[in-house]
Amino acid sequence: MTLATILFLIGLILLITGGKLLVVGASELGLTLKVPPLLIGLTVVAFATSSPEIAVCLLAAWRDQSALVVGNLVGSNIFNILLVLGVAASIFPLVVKRQLIRWDVPVMIGVSLIFWLLAARGEIGRFSGLFLLLGLIAYIIFSYKKAEPGGTSPTLPLWKQLLAIGVGVVFLGIGSELLVSGATDIARYLGVGELAIGLTIVAVGTSLPELTTSLVAIRRKEGDLAVGNIVGSNIFNLLGVAGVTALLSKGPIEVPPKAIWFDIPVMVGVSVAALPIFLTGHLISRWEGALFLAYYALYILYLFFAGTVPLFTAALLFFILPLTLITLLIGVVRHLKSRN
């Protein structure tokens, strides 16, 4: 137990350091390539910060821990939107570019729905993995063609940019591995199930790079990089991580029934809920960030108490969620009226 705690803390330190290096290197690389920070956030940073998910999912797949793979993918995407975006917006209101609203967020929603359809069969095989990877390639090509050149010059030479990105990715990978190993040992010591570990401890551990990277970007006033990192990471998790894992695993990735009827729909619903918030004034305000944080807390509570506290489950499903949906719809209607 003591060793697991030490590994957890060392991993956390490496994650924070790697996040700082990655943001600096990626921001400078974007200036060198003459592309805006949003595209760098959607591609280079998003893909780099998702590298821990690839390592964990591949390892879990080869150990026949399919529930851990699905839990990591789904839990990471829920964590990215509700907690990472919630924390970032709570610290500093985020202005959202039109490209995110018109293209990237709808793509994230569409990819989430496709993943749900593929998973609804009970497994994700090699053919589905190939399909997801082809979708990722198409997304990268289209995003590159839509990018507008940047106008600021970099302050670091190219070799230092690549070195910062490389060291940052290594730190993120090692840090996530140590953190997840420690956290998983602690969770198993406490008697937590495999799917729950994937949805919570492992998902949080592998998504800490997104959290640290986005917070560092906010501190550097790189709002586009922060939001683009979150949206891009979610797209890459479902297309790239799931695709590579399904192709390289020994057999199909089995999807637990609970994930099909509850956790994956929650992931889809969270992605859909992000769009109305982005629409209202192209700004993610502090109260909307706080709302996301509150819902992540409710989701975690549901995972652990749904079977023991029926009243909590009923309140969540029949009162809190409908009330939030009505609030989001009112916000969209007001936005459309203001445009007219």
DSSP annotation string for 179-225: HHHHHHHHHHHTT--HHHHIIIIIHHHHHHHHHHHHHHHHHTT-HHH
* pLDDT on residue 239: 93
The token duo for 262 is 């509850």
* pLDDT on residue 130: 93
**Phi, psi at 284, each rounded to 5°:** -95, 105
CB 180 within 8 A of CB 56: yes
More confident residue, 46 or 239: 239
CATH number of residue 186's parent domain: 1.20.1420.30
Contacts 24+ apart (CB under 8 A), 246-249: 246/124, 246/125, 246/126, 246/128, 246/129, 246/132, 247/126, 247/129, 247/130, 247/133, 248/58, 248/61, 249/58, 249/61, 249/62, 249/69
Name the pairing type of β-strands 253-254 and 123-124.
antiparallel
Cα distances (angstroms) measured from residue 178 to each of 5, 47, 67, 71, 224: 10, 20, 20, 19, 30
* pLDDT on residue 243: 92
User: How many residues in total does the chain contain?
Assistant: 340
Mean pLDDT of 246-250: 86
Using only C-alpha atoms, what is the Rg of the chain? 19
CB 39 within 8 A of CB 147: yes
pLDDT at 323 over 60: no
The token duo for 186 is 């602690």
CB 267 within 8 A of CB 207: no
Q: In the chain, what are the helix, strand and coil shares in percent, each to the nearest 5?
A: 85, 0, 15
| d(C-alpha 198, C-alpha 187), whole Å | 10
Q: Give a yes or no: residue 333 inside a domain.
A: no
* pLDDT on residue 37: 64
Q: Give a yes or no: residue 114 inside a domain.
A: yes
pTM, 2 dp: 0.78
Mean pLDDT, all residues of the chain: 77
Domain around 21: 2-305
Q: What percentage of the chain exceeds 90 in pLDDT? A: 10
Q: Which of 327, 133, 317, 134 is nearest to 237 (CA)?
A: 133
Q: Give a yes or no: residue 336 inside a domain.
A: no
More confident residue, 133 or 156: 133
More confident residue, 179 or 105: 105
Burial 9-25 (b: 16+ CB within 10 A, else e): eebbebbbbbbbbbbbb
Mean pLDDT of 57-64: 80
Q: Give a yes or no: residue 34 inside a domain.
A: yes
pLDDT at 20 over 70: yes
Confidence of residue 41 (pLDDT cuts 50, 70, 90): low
Q: What percentage of the chain exceeds 70 in pLDDT? A: 76
Q: Give a yes or no: residue 70 inside a domain.
A: yes
Mean pLDDT of 300-328: 60
More confident residue, 68 or 38: 68
Local structure of residue 283 (DSSP, 8 states): E
| d(C-alpha 74, C-alpha 112), whole Å | 9
Mean pLDDT of 174-191: 74
Instruction: Write the CB contacts of 5 (distance below 8 Å, at least 6 apart in sequence).
Output: 182, 186
Cα distances (angstroms) measured from residue 272 to each of 155, 212, 267, 285, 297: 38, 24, 9, 17, 19
Q: Give a yes or no: residue 256 inside a domain.
A: yes
CB 73 within 8 A of CB 53: yes
Mean pLDDT of 98-123: 86
* pLDDT on residue 339: 59
pLDDT at 33 over 60: yes
How many structural domains are present in the chain?
Answer: 1
Which of 19-28, 95-104, 229-238 is predicted with the least confidence, judged by mean pLDDT? Answer: 95-104
Q: Give a yes or no: residue 143 inside a domain.
A: yes
| d(C-alpha 127, C-alpha 111), whole Å | 16
User: Which residue shows structure tokens 């979150």?
Assistant: 230
| d(C-alpha 232, C-alpha 328), whole Å | 23
Q: Give a yes or no: residue 317 inside a domain.
A: no
